[in-house]
A and B are shown apart, each in its own frame.
Chain A
């Protein structure tokens, strides 16, 4: 039953592979960004998961509580989320400008246009 008990990690693995697959397999530039986001989100879940201490509460000092979850992964992942937001914003901005320059956001059509010139 250990494998079921670690269901968080199964979710992480599934999300990671799903996101990675979308990035590689899809031609649409916006979908690629979505895939990238799912890929990154899986890492966030992974960090939060191993920050959990069994029986621990939220890491805020309170009377009568002795066990806390590890707050460090949360802080780290807050930083990673900010990086993710910046990446997404920049990626989407690039897609907008690519759409203006090429009139499409499908990768194969962009390649065709580039080959012609």
Chain B
């Protein structure tokens, strides 16, 4: 079966989704989802091992050879992203059992797992495919299922948040189809490798320029780049805890990968950053995102919303790395993609534990929680330290490489801004620490225990990983550098 790994990566969650729907009973659906997400993790690990040492894997769907047939292509870049997505999926599923039971109506639990598996299938498909139109289809599978997942939140504002996301997400997706269509009209191919070859051969035409614009705007909407991030805070705030954690850790990351793929592999560096002034645009937007979103985060009374704004800021760091367009910068972007998935996923899971016990994630209600739920809050604080970029956490590693990338490019002011914006993160994390540890618990608060182990252990796995990879950087930095060189090599 080893040759079929690339197809199985997508097929297994695709098969699990209808099975979840058929079994209906919630624990069985959970077991199916658990099997699916763990199988995906194993497959993505095996794929990564193969491509680190060898050539990229190319899998021809239906045995139709590319560029006519649909090709699944795995190289270091997307193997790493596949690992991130499936790892988060594998950690979130065990956590989901208790959390979903508490937050959903009993009858709808199996529908949650069905949508969750479809979302996983879509995200993995976007990452693995080597065909531009296939990418759009998978993007919509993941988006449509995530609208459903968000709308499952208990608060009625979840509905409006989901609606808003649906409208903006569809506009983004339609922009992407327009871009792909214009590229097809110009080159007559949809295979990414073939597209890159044909685009490199011909001079820049107006059609390609327009396609470039549509694609960049569409993808930026999906990855919530400032100022196109408006859907994100509401969506993450009102979605069920599990969904917030899963989407925050995966959906925007996959969109960042799509941006990398289009900018460097399909268009080349010369076009993206030479002919088009995209490096300046991305630099400015990402710096504004870092500061504006962090500043807004400071004033949020709802901690989930605070983390959502912080996500917008962190996406700014990733895009900033991309805008440097050198090996260290892109590597920093990819490292931060991985690291942010770990720490933000862990923090959202910790907040899910809080919500499970006190049914609120507002700052006022969290007074004295440091003593009442020590393990949960400790996880939150470690994640927060990582968000700030304290040494020995993953956050430090990504910021280090970002600064190196900025200096390589000669943009010392960008390096300075990275350090300055970290101070804002200190402020908003400190607010939580202050309330949770220094304020006494309210008088009328009943005795509560810490969250059940089935929720705490996944939380600590992510938080623990964010410390582990902060100390042992071989895997992340090694793979990310190899990936960055592949991206730049393919484009140059």
| Complex alpha-carbon distance, A40 and B170, angstroms | 9
Distance (whole angstroms) from the CB of B365 to the closest CB of chain A: 16
Whether B157 contacts A32 by the Cβ 8 Å rule is: no
- Fill in one digit per residue for A13-39: 1 if any B CB lies within 8 Å of its CB, else 0: 000000010010000010010001001
**CB <8 Å contact, A101 and B156:** yes
Interface string of B117-160 (1 = CB under 8 A from A): 00000000000000001001100100010011001000011011
Contact indicator B184/A110 (Cβ below 8 Å): no
| Closest Cβ–Cβ distance, residue B169 to chain A (whole Å) | 9
B148 touches A50 (CB 8 A): no
Least CB separation from B186: chain A residue: A50
Max chain A C-beta neighbours (<10 A), residue from B148, B167, B178: B167
- Is the beta-carbon distance between B185 and A50 smaller than 8 angstroms? yes
Interface size on B, residues (CB 8 A): 25
Q: Could you say which residues of chain B place their CB within 8 Å of the CB of A101?
A: 156, 159
* Interface membership of B174, Cβ < 8 A: yes
The verdict on A63 contacting chain B, using a C-beta distance below 8 Å, is no
Give chain B residues whose Cβ lies under 8 Å from the Cβ of A86: 140, 144
**Are B160 and A83 neighbours in the complex by a CB distance under 8 Å?**
no
Task: Give a binary string over B160-197; 1 marks a CB under 8 Å from any A CB, 0 the rest.
Answer: 10110011001101100110010011000000000000
Contact of B151 among A23, A29, A47, A94 (CB under 8 A): A94
Q: A40-B170, A90-B144 are in contact. List 10 more A-B contacts (CB 8 A).
A: A50-B181, A79-B137, A80-B136, A83-B137, A83-B140, A86-B140, A90-B166, A97-B151, A98-B156, A101-B156
Footprint of A on B, CB under 8 Å?
133, 136-137, 140, 144, 147-148, 151, 156-157, 159-160, 162-163, 166-167, 170-171, 173-174, 177-178, 181, 184-185
Among all A-B residue pairs, the 10 with the closest Cβ atoms: A101-B156, A50-B185, A83-B140, A94-B163, A98-B159, A87-B170, A97-B159, A91-B166, A47-B181, A76-B133
Q: 15 A-B Cβ contacts within 8 A?
A: A23-B171, A40-B170, A43-B177, A47-B181, A50-B185, A80-B136, A83-B144, A86-B144, A87-B140, A90-B144, A90-B166, A91-B163, A94-B166, A97-B151, A101-B159
